[in-house]
Amino acid sequence: MQIQYIFELIGTLAFAISGAMAGDERQKHDWFGITFIAFITAIGGGTLRDLFLNSYPLVWFNDMNIIYTIFLGILLPGLFYKYFVKLRTTLMLFDTLGIALFTIVGLEKAQSLGANDFISVVMGMFTAVMGGVIRDTMINKTPTIFVEEIYATACIIGGITYLILDDLGIDRNINFIISGSLIAVIRIIAVKFNLSLPKFYK
């Protein structure tokens, strides 16, 4: 439990950083805009999951640690901007860390609320990608899930892997690390080698 909570905070930090920097990329956002976008990126997916699962109160309503973590994620790239931008792939790496952790966090929460396997995997993927989807839709960008072809797919593969290993009796914390790492590795390989899924209709 403790470890999973730490994973959730790290995922939140990663998404807040990626959200704040994504907002900045567009160059036109003031501090409110940046803050708003960082929040949506970090909590949008989990909020949607909780609405769908009727799980109240929403995580960020009663846990100020989540809020502080998001503000930290907004401040960090402001303070160390040069270092964050120099690494060309920084934004992608933080986003990858975010989706890897949030997929498993979301899946486990859905399971604990009694969702079946299919819904749990979908809710894991939702937790990971929907914050970014809502953000992109709001700033009129095409959501990453439609542009980077192996993105949500990595979350789904990681989610299914987690369920299979769970059935095999693997310890939950170890399983979290294995399945989460798988998601990150799949996405990084896909981005590096520019892999894509086949078109469905020819």
Q: Site for a copy of itself (CB under 8 A): which residue of 34, 70, 104, 184?
A: 34
> For residue 125, what are the CA distances in angstroms to 45, 71, 155?
9, 24, 5
Cα separation, 83 vs 64, in Å, equals 28
Residue 78 or 181 having the CB closest to a copy of itself: 78
- How many CA atoms are closer than 13 Å to the CA of 97, on its beta-carbon side? 19
Q: Which of residues 73-112 bind a copy of itself (CB under 8 A)?
A: 74, 77-78, 81
With CB under 8 A as the contact rule, which of the stretches 7-15, 90-98, 180-188, 193-201 interacts with a copy of itself? Answer: 193-201
CB 156 within 8 A of CB 182: no
With CB under 8 A as the contact rule, which of the stretches 9-17, 99-107, 139-147, 165-173 interacts with a copy of itself? Answer: 139-147
Shortest Cβ 162–a copy of itself spacing (Å): 19
Cα separation, 172 vs 189, in Å, equals 25
Those residues with Cβ within 8 angstroms of residue 5's Cβ, 6 or more apart along the chain or in another chain:
none
Binding positions for a copy of itself, rule: CB under 8 A: 24, 28-34, 36, 47, 51-52, 54, 56-58, 61-62, 64, 67, 74, 77-78, 81, 115-116, 118-119, 133, 137-140, 142-143, 145-146, 149, 152-153, 156, 196-202
